[in-house]
Chain A
Amino acid sequence: MLRGLSSAVRRGPKLYAGRFLHITARICLNATVTQDVQIPEEKPRAIFRTSERDPANHTEQHDGQHYSIPLEEVKVVFPHGLPRRFKQQIGTFREACLMVRKPALELLGYLKSTNFAQPAIRYVLYGERGTGKTMTLCYAVHYCVKQGWVVLHIPDAHLLVKNCKELLKSSYKKERFDQPLEASSWLKNFKTSNEHLLREIKTQQKYVWNKWDSTEEGTPLSEMLEQGITRVKTATDVMGVVFKELKRQSSLGSFKLLVAVDGVNALWGRTALRKRDKTFISPEELALVHNLRKMVMNDWSGGAIVTTVCQTGSVYKPYAAYLPHELLGSEGFSTLEPFLPIQVAKYTEKEFESCYQYYLDSKWLQHEKEKPPTNNR
């Protein structure tokens, strides 16, 4: 090997630096090859993937790497809540890969060190559009589900204040409005993700629905959910009951509760819904919004509240707004404070490289001269 190198050195002045290095490298490789019998060809290391599937074990060294969630788990953990484009990506690539990013790791750090005896802390994720707030929220939801928390995930609070096909007058409070369709679909999804935990939680109060119907004390919450799903008219009130019971009982310490609300600024803005006399409905006149507002107060303990403020899909908010105070308004800000704001920024160089490598690897990005992938999946 040395002789080879020395001959290359003698030839050095005739060649320019790049070629010289290349030749020496080749010489070294040839030399090693002749020495050893055979070295298997090394695949380029996939630095954008990590095999660690549990978010609890992610550390700073996993920053920028993708971890995959098995598809069956996705159906259970995220019946609703993943952004539409990500769901399309799961369908195309046939795997669900989330990137581990710094804001998510920061949030997880806080969640891990929560003191469950103290009142629930509010975390608000904010950032410009398309930076990954919803994905960070989903990451936190995945962590909590893995840890066995009860997860109350509202996929998009903006859907509650606009495009409602049916608005019923609430039977519980006269001036409020029910939204049975939204409530029943949410209850279905909530049941999918938390059924096994809800069987243990029992109501602590008797609820009277009407003259003939009431729910006794001690019924498991899963039964209440069934009732809400089958009898759609009572779905909103069932949701209210579920919220109340979970809030009350998590303070006792039997389970941990995560309230995850995407687009929490919808709770304090304006609605796009009108009453029969064409005046706008204010958010507190909607029973769902009223109950959700109570959920994000910090007068309970034994869990955490993670929210995002989002302009996309918001009603009557300017396009360029992304900071918490301008999206929440003074009313929302005063209700949510003191909250911890966490900024989600655009991809850094490292994250961009990782995402790019992932797309290249899954053949999503291709060179025009490249041959189409063979069907060996």
Chain B
Amino acid sequence: MAVTVTSFCAAGSYAWAMLPRLRGAWTLALLQSAANSTAVPQNRSESGGTHWRRREVPRHNRLLGIPRTKKMPVDQDWSNVYPVAASFKPSVVPLPIRMGYPMKKRAPPSKEGNLELIKIPNFLHLTPGAVKKHCAALKNFCTVWPTALDSDEKCEQHFPVEIDTVDYVSAGPSIRNPKARVVTLRVKLSKLNLDDHAKKKLIKLVGERYSKDTDILTITTDRCPLRRQNYDYGIYLLTVLYHESWKTEKWESEKTDADMEEYIWENTCSQKNVLDTLLRIKAAEKISDVPREELLASEIVENYKNSVVLLKNEGETEDNMSKYKESVKKLLNLQGFQ
């Protein structure tokens, strides 16, 4: 009720304000009504103009001037009011919105004739009810989710390659967005059939795109103008990487220690040093030649090997150093201090 009162008052004042300009329209209406209606008391003012008293305006004229917001039932279907994207119409949107910078000691300007409200994009055509209707209409074109794929693990197992694409909507006339062509492929390397050499080679080939913590290879392509083309290119890259990593080139035999991804203890100078030391110790103790394999397999050497591998692979910390110290103490059979 309050809404209608304010809108009526607003309409009335608006009408009065606009009266001089609408005189032509009013006189036309008057002539028409004069032809149809019963006689209405006319007032002749001093200025000589004729005007209708507000309470004596004929009913159908009143109906002409009443905005739609007053004629709306509360339980109407809003998607009939705004079925498509349209600009803000103050007489149609039943909300007392005010927008804009207020003048001194005034409220912000109301919605009637408010250019600010008309300029901005609105989503009045996309209320939840409207979206539900869209979904219901689209459902006829969709297929059912396969019932066998009811968990994430099953999806990963049957479809290890995951494709990510992004669609963009904006309140503008065009549905095109250049960012929509980006395609991201994600795959776990454990799902690919790679042996040790192939996996290391693949990781070296892709570089930054492989994450060691999650074992996921991420390929992002955006070099082609269309999404379909980028997707094809991404699949092609994956195929090429897989096949190339299985091949062994001639120059791969020149791999140096600096290229190694992790430290392997066998056949390093560390192993040689330890063996030499142990052999010298045994020689000093006058023990006859102990075979190398036995020395290598002994527990102290295993312990030492683990501590050195830890030191080299995980980097140096005080913890690792103390572990190394313990293993050397056992190796060289040193007693602790007094």
The yes or no verdict on A and B being binding partners is yes
A198-238 near B? 1/0 per residue, CB < 8 Å: 00000000000000000000000000000000000000000
| Cα separation A105 to B270 with both chains bound (whole Å) | 29
**A-chain residues with CB within 8 Å of residue B133 when the two chains form the complex:** none
**A-chain residues with CB within 8 Å of residue B295 when the two chains form the complex:** none
Please tell me if the beta carbons of A109 and B273 are within 8 angstroms of each other in the complex.
Answer: no
Please tell me if the beta carbons of A118 and B281 are within 8 angstroms of each other in the complex.
Answer: yes
Tell me how far the C-beta of A70 lies from the nearest C-beta in chain B, rounded to whole angstroms.
Answer: 26
| Cα separation A343 to B284 with both chains bound (whole Å) | 29
Known: A117-B284, A118-B280, A323-B316. Contact between A338 and B338, CB under 8 A?
no
Q: A107-B337, A341-B324 are in contact. List 5 more A-B contacts (CB 8 A).
A: A106-B336, A301-B284, A323-B318, A325-B316, A337-B273
Q: Is A283 an interface residue (CB 8 A)?
A: no
Tell me how far the C-beta of A131 lies from the nearest C-beta in chain B, rounded to whole angstroms.
Answer: 13
Nearest A-chain residue to B282, judged by Cβ: A118
| Cα separation A59 to B328 with both chains bound (whole Å) | 24
**B-chain residues with CB within 8 Å of residue A109 when the two chains form the complex:** 335-338
8 Å CB interface, B298-318 against A: 304, 308, 311-312, 316-318
A163-176 near B? 1/0 per residue, CB < 8 Å: 00000000000000
Tell me how far the C-beta of A113 lies from the nearest C-beta in chain B, rounded to whole angstroms.
Answer: 5
8 Å CB interface, A320-361 against B: 323-326, 330, 334, 337-343
Known: A106-B337, A325-B311, A341-B325. Contact between A298 and B331, CB under 8 A?
no
Q: Is A108 an interface residue (CB 8 A)?
A: yes
Q: Is A299 an interface residue (CB 8 A)?
A: yes
Please tell me if the beta carbons of A119 and B321 are within 8 angstroms of each other in the complex.
Answer: no
8 Å CB interface, B229-282 against A: 257, 268-270, 273-274, 276-277, 280-281
Interface SS of chain B: helix
Q: Which 10 A-B pairs have the closest CB atoms?
A: A109-B337, A106-B337, A323-B316, A119-B280, A118-B284, A117-B284, A325-B316, A334-B269, A338-B328, A340-B328
Nearest A-chain residue to B336, judged by Cβ: A109
Please tell me if the beta carbons of B277 and A298 are within 8 angstroms of each other in the complex.
Answer: yes
Q: Is A364 an interface residue (CB 8 A)?
A: no
| Cα separation A118 to B334 with both chains bound (whole Å) | 12
Please tell me if the beta carbons of A334 and B270 are within 8 angstroms of each other in the complex.
Answer: yes
Please tell me if the beta carbons of A338 and B281 are within 8 angstroms of each other in the complex.
Answer: no
Q: Is B329 an interface residue (CB 8 A)?
A: yes
Q: Which interface residue of B277, B285, B318, B337 has the most chain A CB atoms within 10 A? A: B337
Q: Is B135 an interface residue (CB 8 A)?
A: no
Q: Is B15 an interface residue (CB 8 A)?
A: no
Q: Is B332 an interface residue (CB 8 A)?
A: yes
**A-chain residues with CB within 8 Å of residue B334 when the two chains form the complex:** 110, 113, 121, 340
| Cα separation A107 to B336 with both chains bound (whole Å) | 9
Residues of B within 8 A of A (CB): 257, 268-270, 273-274, 276-277, 280-281, 284-285, 304, 308, 311-312, 316-318, 321-322, 324-325, 328-329, 331-332, 334-338
Residue B316 contacts which of A107, A326, A334 (CB distance < 8 angstroms)?
Answer: A326
14 inter-chain pairs at a CB distance below 8 angstroms, sorted by A residue, are A59-B338, A109-B337, A110-B334, A113-B335, A119-B281, A121-B334, A323-B316, A323-B321, A334-B269, A338-B273, A338-B304, A340-B328, A340-B329, A341-B328
Please tell me if the beta carbons of B331 and A338 are within 8 angstroms of each other in the complex.
Answer: yes
Q: Which interface residue of B274, B276, B277, B322 has the most chain A CB atoms within 10 A? A: B277
**A-chain residues with CB within 8 Å of residue B273 when the two chains form the complex:** 334, 337-338
Please tell me if the beta carbons of A121 and B332 are within 8 angstroms of each other in the complex.
Answer: yes
**B-chain residues with CB within 8 Å of residue A60 when the two chains form the complex:** 338
Interface SS of chain A: mixed
**B-chain residues with CB within 8 Å of residue A106 when the two chains form the complex:** 336-337
**A-chain residues with CB within 8 Å of residue B285 when the two chains form the complex:** 117-118
**B-chain residues with CB within 8 Å of residue A299 when the two chains form the complex:** 276, 280
Tell me how far the C-beta of A121 lies from the nearest C-beta in chain B, rounded to whole angstroms.
Answer: 6
Residues of A within 8 A of B (CB): 59-60, 105-110, 113, 115, 117-119, 121, 126, 298-299, 301, 323-326, 330, 334, 337-343
| Cα separation A15 to B35 with both chains bound (whole Å) | 117
Tell me how far the C-beta of B315 lies from the nearest C-beta in chain A, rounded to whole angstroms.
Answer: 9
Nearest A-chain residue to B335, judged by Cβ: A113
| Cα separation A210 to B318 with both chains bound (whole Å) | 51
Known: A337-B273, A339-B328, A343-B321. Contact between A298 and B280, CB under 8 A?
yes
Please tell me if the beta carbons of A343 and B318 are within 8 angstroms of each other in the complex.
Answer: yes
| Cα separation A36 to B311 with both chains bound (whole Å) | 67
| Cα separation A109 to B277 with both chains bound (whole Å) | 21
**B-chain residues with CB within 8 Å of residue A343 when the two chains form the complex:** 318, 321-322
**B-chain residues with CB within 8 Å of residue A113 when the two chains form the complex:** 334-335
Please tell me if the beta carbons of B335 and A340 are within 8 angstroms of each other in the complex.
Answer: no
Please tell me if the beta carbons of A119 and B277 are within 8 angstroms of each other in the complex.
Answer: yes
Nearest A-chain residue to B334, judged by Cβ: A110
Nearest A-chain residue to B304, judged by Cβ: A338
**A-chain residues with CB within 8 Å of residue B274 when the two chains form the complex:** 337-338
Please tell me if the beta carbons of A340 and B332 are within 8 angstroms of each other in the complex.
Answer: yes
**A-chain residues with CB within 8 Å of residue B336 when the two chains form the complex:** 106, 109
Tell me how far the C-beta of A187 lies from the nearest C-beta in chain B, rounded to whole angstroms.
Answer: 30
| Cα separation A301 to B280 with both chains bound (whole Å) | 10
| Cα separation A341 to B320 with both chains bound (whole Å) | 11
**A-chain residues with CB within 8 Å of residue B311 when the two chains form the complex:** 325
Please tell me if the beta carbons of B337 and A105 are within 8 angstroms of each other in the complex.
Answer: yes
| Cα separation A121 to B331 with both chains bound (whole Å) | 11
| Cα separation A109 to B338 with both chains bound (whole Å) | 6
Residue A341 contacts which of B277, B312, B321, B335 (CB distance < 8 angstroms)?
Answer: B321
Nearest B-chain residue to A108, judged by Cβ: B337
Tell me how far the C-beta of A335 lies from the nearest C-beta in chain B, rounded to whole angstroms.
Answer: 8
Nearest A-chain residue to B268, judged by Cβ: A334
| Cα separation A110 to B285 with both chains bound (whole Å) | 19
| Cα separation A113 to B329 with both chains bound (whole Å) | 13
